[in-house]
């Protein structure tokens, strides 16, 4: 099983919304990300769903600079562009 396949499986969460945004990041950003950013994404997947959602919505602070950068990119996958 390839790394992307394993990560795709790990992106499957208990919250459909998280499935969608994590998979969008995995497919859109992960392949071209730096090794450090890829590692941060893998660390992100170790968190519990409420923690991830809280950090994505801003209701929970993210004190890890590496994870904060990944969460910023993930947000761009579901924030509609402003006109």
- Which domains, ranges and CATH numbers included, belong to the chain? 3-78 (1.10.150.250)
Query: Do residues 23 and 78 touch, judged by C-beta distance below 8 A?
Result: no
pLDDT, tens digit, 9 for 90 and up, residues 4-27: 999 999 999 988 989 999 999 999
- The confidence score (pLDDT) of residue 54 equals 94
Q: Is the pLDDT of residue 61 over 80?
A: yes
What is the rounded CA–CA span in Å between residue 29 and residue 31? 6
Q: Is the pLDDT of residue 83 over 80?
A: no
Tokens of 8: 């795709």
Q: Is the pLDDT of residue 82 over 60?
A: no
What is the rounded CA–CA span in Å between residue 18 and residue 66? 19
- The confidence score (pLDDT) of residue 76 equals 79
């Amino acid at each position: 099983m390839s790394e992307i396949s394993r990560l795709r499986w790990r992106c499957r969460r208990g919250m459909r919304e998280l499935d969608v945004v994590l998979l969008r990041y995995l497919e859109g950003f992960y392949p071209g990300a730096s090794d450090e950013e890829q590692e941060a994404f893998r660390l992100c997947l170790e968190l519990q769903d409420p923690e991830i959602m809280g950090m994505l919505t801003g209701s929970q602070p993210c004190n890890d600079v590496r994870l904060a950068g990944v969460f910023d990119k993930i947000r761009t996958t579901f924030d509609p562009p402003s006109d």
